[in-house]
Structure 1
């Protein structure tokens, strides 16, 4: 088992080298400047689209704009925000948070391009149903000769979207916050972890075998409430420790460029650490969100791109920042022996003695389950592309089985596997988006011209 873990760690570290950092963050900066900061200039319009102002039930697709964003956020606003940030702080220090912000800002531009392309180049599965995602962007946008790149993405996606991280961290928080402290479990935790894994399999199966419509409905109801609940808890932690907030921000900026705390001044390493955790958190440039937004009911690619770009803003700039500040102001990043969700639990318990960790358990349950539901959809899309739509339900059996592996495996092995596969998925996603970026800009100019003409016509009618 240790040999497998070492192999996965070596694979992940090699995959997340400087070339991938240049592709992801360099590509994001290119999108930002090439678009003339378009995503930021049209935030108001994107909110109106999200509110359903332009929804048409007759448009092709499976779910509306709000459900598409909610389902994508159900996968991104998840354990990556609670334990992923803690892992980042444990390995890279507070400065990692700054580079997560940078990755998120450029990630907004990346999401705009990749998710616009998901609608622009929707393909059809073997049952003739419209499908979106990087594999279809490659084959429909770049041509059949590029299909090996699409297959590469789909194969990596089968493993990169497995629920093992969510299962691992959910099991850990149940054990270390609920069962062990109350004397319900003592000694070897393998069997309790296995039982928790089986329970997670049953609950997840009840939702994911219902398909994307049920996932969208469940996510649409749970995601807003989980974000509000978590934010209120962290705002309370920051209020209790308000005197430490300015110093926390100063530490983040100072450590971002010195990186003395953990990495011995290796600024390049801390940037990579921030990019890795941001990619795990908001998935900009990875391609998973493109698959979800590709299912939206719309025939306006730019409209969906504008909705999708809100993901990194909500996910990383807001939620991850709150988690990071809670861990820093309480000193949990220095005082906790735990990694991942245990560190976040320490921060909650320090600021809210007695009940803080239990509040976190409730948040973790919602975060983890919505992520478990949404990730299955990504895997079935990749499986359908590779083997045909009529066989896609077989992937869900494999998917739920791996939940048990995640529940009993070490966090090091789990993160290494997911990180490595995310790196592989980013290559086809970013390459295809960069090559097709002129198509997105041409569509954007045409779209906003139509919007201006539409507003002008309505203004004249009112007069």
Structure 2
């Protein structure tokens, strides 16, 4: 097991090196400039699309714009936003938050391009159903000679779409908030029992397919975002003098790295970019799988809706988590478990009720993420072996929920980071190549179709 752990840790360090960071951050910055900062110029229009102003039930696709964004957010607003932020601060210091913000800003442009392409170049699976996502974009727009790149994405996606991390942290927070205070000792049997309950809930939703996932996500996502934001605002209100210094500390540490890494600013940037990718998945290629199922004839509209994702999950939710951890002072406690650190912050900020509120948030965040990732993994496997057999992925996925309830957190996180890093290469390469196609569609949309 030690050799596997070492291999995964080395693989993360190698994959998340300068080439990938240049591809994600540099590629995102290129797309932002190339689009003439479009994501920031049409936010109002994007919100109107999200509200359903342009919905047409007869358009091709399976779910509405709102359900598509909710489904994508369900898969991104998860433990990466609660546990992941704490881990980023623990490993890279408060300055990692700043680089998460920067990654999110360029990520808005990346999401616009990747998700516009996901609708613009939808293709049919082996059963004739319309599908979207990086692998279909590569096949339909770049041709068969690029198919190895599409397969590569799907193989990495198969391993990246795992519920193990989410389940692991759900079990951890339930034990810390409910079982340990009740005097119930942690054990393999206890963890597995919790895992069985989670697996049952997951099975009920994901076996109903994308429409059920979209329906459940569209109901749970707004609830979980509002509950979490109100909770953190309550903590901020009770510590008003710490808010501005915390933001200033983040900015200062981003360029000095004195808090944790002793001046290694490059390491702070890596940690921030890595956690941002885990949080909002911009450039990774997961979200286009969900947005590609949206009911629309206008690819640009779905791209505009998709670009709201990084704003919500990283700029808002991750910032809330980070500020909560900083103003309560638990960030330098030495705690290595992200969810335990965040729980400590909630206990300090909201004595008595804080951990319970966090547990509710965590359970909803994590379970909705598990729903979304299941759809992603199933689409990746279906592309490789055919839709008829790809549906069996769900049973494999449900079994992984059980594995997650008793697994090692470090190895799981590293495996996901390896897969995410590998997925980014085919996604960003194909997106940069096809960027002119997106701009052609953009110019046509805003000159012929656009209505505010």
- The normalised TM-score by structure 1 is 0.96
Match of 2:43 in 1: 43
- The worse-fitting range, judged by mean Cα deviation, of 170-179 and 343-352 is 170-179
Q: CA deviation at 1:85?
A: 0.4
Deviations 1:260-295 (A, max 9, x none): 222221111111100000000000000000000000
Show the counterpart of 2:22.
Answer: 22
| RMSD of aligned alpha carbons | 1.0
Q: Match for 1:235 among 223, 233, 236?
A: 233
Distance 1:139 1:145 in 2: 8
Describe how 1:6-17 pairs up with structure 2 within 5 A: 6-17=6-17
Tell me, yes or no, if the aligned pair for 2:90 and 2:334 is still in contact at 8 Å: no
Question: Residue in 2 aligned with 1:312?
Answer: 310
Alignment of 1:124-273 (within 5 A): 124-185=124-185, 189-273=187-271
Q: Per-residue CA shift, 1:66-95, capped at 9, x if unaligned?
A: 000000000111111110101101100100
Corresponding pairs, count? 452
Tell me the secondary structure at the aligned position of residue 428 of structure 2: helix
User: In the TM superposition, what whole-angstrom CA distance separates every residue of 1:339-368 from its partner, at most 9, and x where no partner exists?
Assistant: 211100000000111111011001111101
**How far does residue 259 in structure 1 lie from its aligned partner after superposition?**
0.7
Distance in 2 between the 1:442 and 1:9 partners? 42
Equivalent-residue separation in structure 2 for 1:190 and 1:160 (angstroms): 25
- Structure 1 match to 2:410: 412
Pairing 1:389–2:387 present: yes
What stretches of structure 2 of length at least 5 have no aligned partner?
Answer: none
Of stretches 267-276 and 148-157 in structure 1, the one that deviates more from structure 2 is 267-276
Partner of 2:106: 106
CA distance in 2, matches of 1:414, 1:9: 11
Q: For the Cα contact (< 8 Å) 1:336–1:346, is it kept in 2?
A: no
- In 2, Cα distance between equivalents of 1:345 and 1:374: 25
Equivalent residue number for residue 279 of structure 1: 277
CA–CA distance in 1 between the matches of 2:334 and 2:359? 17
The alpha-carbon deviation at position 338 of structure 1 amounts to 4.3
After TM superposition, the score normalised by the length of structure 2 is: 0.99
Q: How does 1:271-420 map to 2 (within 5 A)?
A: 271-335=269-333, 337-420=335-418
What SS class does the counterpart of residue 233 from structure 2 fall into? helix
**How far does the alpha carbon of each residue in 1:387-433 deviate from its partner, in whole angstroms, 9 at most, with x for none?**
00111221111111111221111211111000110000000000000
State the 4+ residue runs in structure 1 displaced beyond 3 angstroms: none
Contact 2:87 2:336 in 1 (8 A): no
Q: Is contact 2:131-2:292 (8 Å) kept?
A: yes
Match in the other structure for 1:458: none
- 1:449 has 2:447 as partner: yes
**Alignment partners' CA distance in 1, 2:265 and 2:205:** 43
Per the TM alignment, residue 129 of structure 1 is displaced from its structure 2 partner at its CA by: 0.4
* Partner SS for 1:173: helix
Structure 1, unmatched stretches of 5+, are 456-463
